[in-house]
Amino acid sequence: MKRMCAGWWAALVLMLAAPANTAWAQTLPPTEPIPRIETGMHNAQIWRIGIDASCRLMVTGSEDKTTRLWALPEQGLGAPKLLGVLRVPIGSGNDGKIYAVVLSPDGRYAAAGGWNRNADDWVYIFDAATGKLIRRLGELDNNINHLTWSADGRYLAATLGGGQGMRVWETAGWSLVGDDWDYGGKDSYGAAFDATGRLYTVAWDGLLRRYGGRISSLKGSSERLAVKDLTALPSIRTATA
């Protein structure tokens, strides 16, 4: 009887553990090799292009799930030269598509992001000189649509899909210093720092947001654009100091 009870309990434990193990396995990225043909150029739509401050380097990101680093020709004569392919983790379907890329102003780092699986999205930071992946920023709950670097190189900002808003990291230690989740459930597809370090973002909720400024509204030629001033966020004030 004891032997039968022990066997029954073992079977029950296995039955209870199986769904959890299965769910855990489903969240892991694929481990099998995914063959890729290197053509020397993107073979799908290029979503973003970034250039360093000295116009020496260019980075491109594409739906073909690659980020490519290029040397720009001097004086604008000739074609860009491919320096290397920066690869992020990829999977089936949309997993690994690159929607956002940017170079740090000094050309030291390349950042890339896009679509990952199961709300497991990250901004990938590469060493531009070696092509080595040196850090991931996140974990984020939706795809990364845009990346922008401040002119002084101190801050990196990302705008996200699914109403997840924006995030700002300081680049000395890569820690998160600012975020805003109040985007009305809408996607944000653009962001830029101005010369003073203030951050602007746009989103499908119809708002142009300025972080660190004091402006309440802006009238465009055909429609009214409301500007959201979030100077109350201490982390953002720090980022724009």
Nearest CA to 91 out of 58, 109, 117, 120 is that of 117
Q: Is pLDDT at 234 greater than 70 in this prediction?
A: no
pLDDT of residue 6: 44
In Å, how far from its chain's centre is CA 168?
11
- Candidates 57, 38, 47; CA nearest to 128 is 57
**Average pLDDT for the chain:** 77
Least Cα distance to 45 among 114, 92, 121, 109 occurs for 114
User: According to the model, what pLDDT value does residue 99 have?
Assistant: 93
Neighbours of 189 (CB within 10 A): 16
Write down the pLDDT at residue 216: 33
The pLDDT > 70 percentage for the chain reads 72
Question: Considering only CA atoms, which of 169, 190, 183 is closest in space to residue 99?
Answer: 190
| Dist CA 190 CA 117 (whole Å) | 22
89/47 Cα distance (integer angstroms):
18
3-state SS assignment for residue 235: helix
Which token pair is 39?
Answer: 């053509």
pLDDT at 221 over 50: no
Q: What is the layout of strands, in order, in the sheet containing 144-149? A: 144-149, 155-160, 166-170, 175-180
Half-sphere exposure of 162 (CA within 13 A, CB side): 11
Q: Which two tokens stand for residue 139?
A: 């974990």
DSSP lists the bridge partners of residue 225 as 218
Q: Give the DSSP H or E segment for 58.
A: strand 57-62
Entry pTM? 0.75
Q: Which residue is associated with the tokens 């401040």?
A: 150
Position 11 pLDDT exceeds 60: no
pLDDT at 151 over 70: yes
